[in-house]
Structure 1
Amino acid sequence: MISLDRVTTTAYRLTQYARGGGCACKIPPGELEEIVAGLIGPGSDDLLVGLDDGDDAAVVRIDGATAVLSTADFFTPVVDDAYDFGRIAAANALSDVYAMGGRPVLAINLVGWPRDLLPTELLREVLRGGFDIAAAAGCPVAGGHSIDDPEPKYGMAVTGIADPGRLLRNDAAVAGTAITLTKPLGVGVLNNRHKSTGEVFEQAVASMVALNAGACAAALEAGLSAGTDVTGFGLLGHLYKMARASGVTAVIDAAAVPYLDGARQALADGFVSGGTRRNLDWVRPHLASTVAEDELLLLADAQTSGGLLLAGEIATGGAVIGEFVPRRDSVLEVR
């Protein structure tokens, strides 16, 4: 592996070259739904998953045994270290394939880079991080596209394959099944603190670079059919989309939700992103809750490269945080 001197890579705080960071800089979910409303092209019997319910990837059936998954994901730096930024962005992009029950088979890089502000040696480190995570996933990286951009951005377009009869979809949750989360929450508030203070939270980096491959395999092994991943819309936002699309109500036991060390302190110290507050505002009309506002903010915390959110239990690596029940007056309930 080719590596830069650590002093060189840490001389620039990448998070200071962008207004937002990671999946917290997504267009707000309600606004995005209004933008894409009605933008659905000619149908096809082989298009298994499209824009209808905002799933994680598009899915096209090739034959009875194979479906192709297509997705793209990129964002501005969520951490200052260039190599870690590359690893996080790649793991996040690959996650969309795992969230659909697929296996990534090809990735291409998506790059925006302020050439007049940041040395290209840093960009090489970003790309190296992406290559290393893709290699760990057994997914080759072949080319991509780059532009000169006022803010640094990196991500990937990923192609995957899956069994069309064994997809994980966000419209397939049924009442009577558990809600399982495979990574702790809290990277949003920790990343926001990192951007503001420069403090490094290795537990957050370790969570974000961890691939969701094992969770995907466990979900398929358990015969599950409904799932998504938790990213910029927070646990509440992504769970709302799943429950709404499936015609059920999601009931969350707030005490059962796992968090990274330091997340509650970061919240208490005020490191809450605007994206997190927008997430909570979006779901609030559909939410019944008996917990404090701070707890709801953590549940709405905008995640980057979060875990899988599954309808059902898996053998290892997941925390049961609630259950899906028949549709009631509220789509979400938090107790």
Structure 2
Amino acid sequence: MTTTRETPVRLTQFAHGGGCACKIPPGELEDMLGGLSVPLPAGTPLLVGAATGDDAAVVLLPTPGGGPAQAMVSTADFFTPVVDDPYDWGRVAAANALSDVYAMGGRPVLAVNLLAWPRDLLPLDLAREVLRGGLETAAEAGCHVGGGHSVDDPEPKYGMAVTGLADPARLLRNDAGRPGQPLSLTKPLGLGVLNNRHKATGERFAQAVATMTALNREASEAALAAGAACATDVTGFGLLGHLHKLARASGVSAVLDTAAVPYLDGAREAVRDGYVSGGTRRNLDWVAPFTDFGGTDADTRLLLADAQTSGGLLVAGEIPGAPVIGELIPRGPHSIVLK
């Protein structure tokens, strides 16, 4: 279902890309970061660092007096406008930043805003709407917002740095997958191509906005309740990119049942009509050497690599309401095998 809504200012026209599709491509990012991460020494309180490319950093907190162990989860995420409506953009960006804490099995407790704004080009009342959207989404998550930082920038950007708490014995990590575990996906794919169509045409896709603004809180809680230990969220590197990172970190491979993967209404039509971002194509190029595509058609490959913004959780385990889309298997010649 699509609608067209008149907007005085189209925020997406002030950005070279949109949402998580504006990330530095994964291959280039890994080349840039090569050698900058070091193995964690034994006994370090840093439980999750940069080595596995997980969703957030995790550090074990001191427990004076012998209280229950707690870990602090820390992350930051921001991006250019993914929708034209400033309030919706704020909601999407906040949900996306909070998702990194949920993807680690944590509970967000404090966020600070990160805002870049072209003050000579766009009115500040639009920036206020962006911040209002972020504030309301954080409140929905039970997360305090304690200020933030802003800069004058030629291109608008918004997001949050988020701190959360987690049980260090019940973290969700991308390196904890084991052969035989099913793979569940908690949100449908297609956000990238629908957002790209919105940027190009002004069409508004309510189903995409509803999906992006939905918190991953319930999915995280369900994963923990099911005893899962391995998960990641599906964002700018697409399902294939994030699954490759999970399989690589865990020392396994994955079989993906392409017929079981859910898609948003209109996603296939958007691919057919050519609304595919450069970020999605770069994702597909990056995972191609690690993937056995079998007979998968070109449009499906693009959707599986589609750069998502505030996508769902990919969980090694079964959780209520989420389709099982594949399985982890012993390491083979490819990280991912499509069937």
Q: 2:53 — aligned with what?
A: 54
1:174–1:248 contact (8 Å) kept in structure 2: yes
Residue 109 of structure 1 aligns with an amino acid whose one-letter code is N
Change (3 A) 1:187 1:116: same
Distance in 1, Cα, partners of 2:232 & 2:38: 24
- 1:165-209 CA-partner distances (Å, limit 9, x unpaired): 100000011000101000000000000000000000000000000
User: Of 20, 32, 45, which residue of structure 2 is paired with 1:23?
Assistant: 20
1:104 Cα offset (Å): 0.1
Q: 2:314 — aligned with what?
A: 309
Distance in 2, Cα, partners of 1:159 & 1:120: 27
Query: Does residue 166 of structure 1 match 2:170?
Result: yes
Superposed counterparts of 1:89-238, under 5 Å? 89-238=93-242
Distance in 2, Cα, partners of 1:320 & 1:198: 34
Distance in 2, Cα, partners of 1:10 & 1:317: 36
Distance in 1, Cα, partners of 2:307 & 2:262: 15
Give the total of aligned pairs. Answer: 327
Residue 163 of structure 2 aligns with an amino acid whose one-letter code is T
TM-score when scaled to structure 1?
0.96
- 1:3-39 CA-partner distances (Å, limit 9, x unpaired): xxxx9x9200000001000000000001101111111
Runs ≥4 residues deviating over 4 A: 41-44
Mean Cα deviation higher: 215-224 or 44-53: 44-53
Mean Cα deviation higher: 265-274 or 43-52: 43-52
Superposed counterparts of 1:216-295, under 5 Å? 216-290=220-294, 291-295=296-300
2:172–2:231 contact (8 Å) kept in structure 1: yes
Residue 200 of structure 2 aligns with an amino acid whose one-letter code is S
- 1:213-255 CA-partner distances (Å, limit 9, x unpaired): 0000000000100000000000000000000111111110000
1:319 Cα offset (Å): 1.1
**Unaligned stretches of 5+ in structure 1?**
1-6
2:39–2:51 contact (8 Å) kept in structure 1: no
1:215–1:317 contact (8 Å) kept in structure 2: no
Distance in 2, Cα, partners of 1:42 & 1:196: 44
Mean Cα deviation higher: 173-182 or 43-52: 43-52
User: Of 36, 41, 64, which residue of structure 2 is paired with 1:39?
Assistant: 36
Q: Percent identity?
A: 69
1:43 Cα offset (Å): 4.3
Q: Secondary structure of 1:40's match?
A: coil
Superposed counterparts of 1:318-333, under 5 Å? 318-333=322-337
1:41 Cα offset (Å): 6.0
Distance in 2, Cα, partners of 1:317 & 1:169: 21
1:95–1:212 contact (8 Å) kept in structure 2: yes
Q: 2:65 — aligned with what?
A: none
Residue 18 of structure 2 aligns with an amino acid whose one-letter code is G
Residue 305 of structure 1 aligns with an amino acid whose one-letter code is S
Q: Secondary structure of 2:113's match?
A: strand
2:38–2:51 contact (8 Å) kept in structure 1: no
User: Of 2, 5, 10, which residue of structure 2 is paired with 1:13?
Assistant: 10
1:317 Cα offset (Å): 2.8
Distance in 1, Cα, partners of 2:205 & 2:272: 17
